[in-house]
Structure 1
């Protein structure tokens, strides 16, 4: 162990003397620190803003005056997704999927106000999140620091001298490996601080510790790659060229190929095609605003038989409200079928892209990071489902008010004059049917279970690095 410690100390002394490695470490650490601070401030502002907007939307809905209940169905309501505690490090898909949905009758609107959709091309490149820095740039910094760790000893002839003096090659490599890992951990320090902050803000300690452990494993993998390549090659130039090429392939090309391959293997219809398909199905349901539509003839017959009357005017309930309820139920069933199909297609593509974690550690840590942080596609889909449940519940509750609290006669004559319009209103107390909306990330157990396979991918890469280092030792010996 004394030899390993001495080699580690010597490596740090060399980096200090050359200034280049020390400068890179300082730049890398400062970049991740500044990124973490900026992202934390942005996420805190977004969280407070969305919570305020959610309360404001709720209050505005409840404060509406007496109206016709179907007017409130179209008045609608907004729901907002507050960011998870770890989104200060890993925003995940949140920047692309939107943070707010407008809920109204007869429609399932898409999420709005995503940062990337509203940003210009140049602005997108300026968004350096802590996760991007740690997943893509920190490996490059480790390469710049350690590409000559062993090759410089070979070029200077000191490696053979150390071996002839009886220094164990494994001890030599482990000393240099620990030095590289420690430099990576310095750049990881802001993430650790941010994770502690997330725990203070209510995130599970199990989640934050697992999150940090995943990134430490990623640093171990890249430090091993850099050291192994440096040990196998004889010249600094060759080591540097191979490592930069590996970085381009593993951090940039393969993740991009993964997403493109997923879209090609599991193609999904365009939004325009999907919208036309939905409209085609909805046409068969009839117009829920027109109680005389032939599509509701059987419903009318069933109600007349049930209540033993001859005309809809004699029903003890408002037939128009019943039609609105029936139509909304059938419409929502169809919309949900298409929505679930779309979400399954998106998940299938995501799962295909994530399998590239077996060929690049960058994809493995990206998948693990988003799933543990609660900013993955699965979390976004749960937000859509919970928002849709709220939409359907409050719309159907208003339709029930339309059916039970408003007479058919007043409803049918509401456009005759001002007095008729006023008579077709219900008391504002009926707007209390709207439930509060508060979206939270999945439980710690759920997130860890989903991310387990991607943790296995990271361990797989660590095992490959161990084998690669063993091969490098044989080459040196």
Structure 2
């Protein structure tokens, strides 16, 4: 009862901090997003190329369930500046403005359920069979006809049902209070993600209960079982996750931000410079355009060649950047795959990965935000290039201004939220690990547990 009280205080505290932080962060970002948009649409008459360089700042809204599972939210950037000719990264993470204490982790409901509740299960269940074995009661029970399979099944269900009632019940209560306090966060997609998260942790608690009873059955006394369980907890919760991170980085090293941008700059120099009139690629592009329209000079084209050239330069640089970006993401995916494969032997890694995916706080959702903002930036820039091409006089290419109403026609950026199945499709290996653990439990009760070691 004391442990339950301690865990209740921790969960309530972490829930309050999570809900308050998520609501505050989203409120701040929404306020500044409105300010940015108002400044953007209230621009004076301008040259369209100037507007494309004026840019647009997009803030990343925190997912509705990030109050429960922080994931990488504190370490991922929350704003990105969109402008012509440049593909910027998402910047201004909370970790960048915090002290070194953040590296020790943040107290979230998910962290409590993933790391501390298994400890709770171990402490209440380590002696279920080991103590019966030590005092001789287990031998009497087996002699009276109770099968080892039924005994292990009953002890597992006992620990699991108690743990699930307490912690999944608390999880359901806190979710309900959070959604009542912030009803705008409730959508069918969020509810589906919430239900999956509860089901996921229910399975996780059963796996922990099952492991506890198995180790208790294999141990000669309760003290030995407890030591084994604590060592297992340290291995799964501390050593293996850190090892997965280090091994992933060693096998698939990722370039630094400076190296990444340097490689892009070097490749751009090889492709060509649209601002250089003697550049080989763009000279060829000009000759091709002149031949296509049957004229000898760009002044004779039925449009402003400067806008046409800028559109081609934007296309080339965007393709190059996206190619490098995809390579970088492939590297990160390979790094994270180490933890995914270790999920087959470590249920903590399995539940951590799927929990972040279900709540939208994993790397896949962060990358999806970057890709959607990049698509928006490209469409926005090419829209201005088309205006420059078709509505700006070639002789006044750098000075002519268009009515600001032409710039206000563009819709503001809105992130397209992904569904649960999209999120899970990015974690196929971890999902297979979940299926593996379920099959292992089913097979153990179907074909194993013929007898329990009595000494």
TM-score normalised by length of structure 2 = 0.88
Partner residue of 2:87 out of 90, 94, 108: 108
2-side partners of 1:377 and 1:296: how far apart? 38
Q: Compared with structure 1, are the counterparts of its residues 69 and 345 closer, same or farther at alpha carbon in structure 2 (3 Å cutoff)?
A: same
Q: What is the distance in 1 between the residues matched to 2:267 and 2:431?
A: 43
SS in 2 for 1:82: coil
Q: 2: distance between equivalents of 1:234 and 1:39? A: 43
1:437 aligns with 2:422: no
| Alpha-carbon distance change, 252 to 194 in structure 1, aligned in 2, over 3 angstroms | same
Contact 1:370 1:376 in 2 (8 A): yes
Query: Do 1:84 and 1:441's aligned partners in 2 also have CA atoms closer than 8 Å?
Result: no
- C-alpha change, 1:79 and 1:275, in structure 2 (3 Å) is same
C-alpha displacement of 1:52? 3.3
In 2: Cα distance, 1:473 partner to 1:49 partner: 61
Give the equivalent residue in structure 2 for 1:406.
392
Alpha-carbon distance between aligned partners in 2 of 1:359 and 1:174, rounded to the nearest angstrom: 22
Partner of 2:168: 188
1:339 alignment counterpart: 325
Q: 1:211 to 1:59 in 2, by over 3 A?
A: same
Alignment deviations for residues 175-226 of structure 1 (CA, whole Å, 9 cap, x no partner): 4333322342213333223455569611434432222111111001111111
Provide structure 2 residue ranges, at least 5 long, that are not aligned to the other structure. Answer: none
State the 1:162 CA deviation. Answer: 4.5
Which structure 2 residues correspond to residues 352-367 of structure 1 after superposition, within 5 A? 352-367=338-353
- Name the counterpart of 1:261: 247
Matched, 1:62 2:47: no
**Rounded Cα–Cα distance in structure 2 between residues aligned with 1:299 and 1:261:** 47
- Partner residue in 2 for 1:4: none
The equivalent residue for 2:434 is: 458
DSSP 3-state at the match of 1:269: coil
Q: TM-score, normalised by structure 1?
A: 0.84
| 1:118 paired residue number | 97
Say if 1:29 and 1:182 are closer, same or farther in 2 by CA, change over 3 A: farther
Unaligned runs of 5+ in 1: 1-21, 415-423
User: Does the CA contact (< 8 Å) of 2:218 and 2:452 recur in 1?
Assistant: no
Cα separation, 2, equivalents of 1:462 and 1:445: 20
Shift of 1:323: 1.9
Q: Is the 8 A contact 1:29 1:189 kept in 2?
A: no
Could you tell me which of 368, 375, 384 is aligned with 2:370? 384
What is the CA–CA distance in structure 1 between the aligned matches of 2:261 and 2:221, rounded to whole Å? 59
Q: Contact 1:24/1:145 (CA < 8 Å) preserved in 2?
A: no
**What is the CA–CA distance in structure 1 between the aligned matches of 2:218 and 2:408, rounded to whole Å?**
71
CA RMSD of aligned residues (A): 2.8
Between the aligned partners of 1:33 and 1:57, the Cα distance in structure 2 is 36
Structure 1 residue 354: deviation in Å? 0.6
Q: Distance in 2 between matches of 1:268 and 1:302?
A: 39
The match for 1:368 is: 354
Indicate the residue corresponding to 1:300 in structure 2.
286
Instruction: Find the aligned partners of 1:96 and 1:385 in 2 and give their Cα distance.
Output: 18
Kindly tell me: are residues 50 and 164 of structure 1, through their superposed partners in 2, closer, same or farther at Cα, counting changes over 3 Å? same
Whole-Å separation in 2 of the counterparts to 1:82 and 1:206: 19
1:232 positional shift: 1.8
Distance 2:405 2:382 in 1: 16
In 2: Cα distance, 1:473 partner to 1:42 partner: 52
Aligned residues: 446
C-alpha distance in 1, partners of 2:268/2:11? 50
Who wins on radius of gyration, i.e. which is larger?
Answer: 1
- Rounded Cα–Cα distance in structure 1 between residues aligned with 2:187 and 2:249: 37
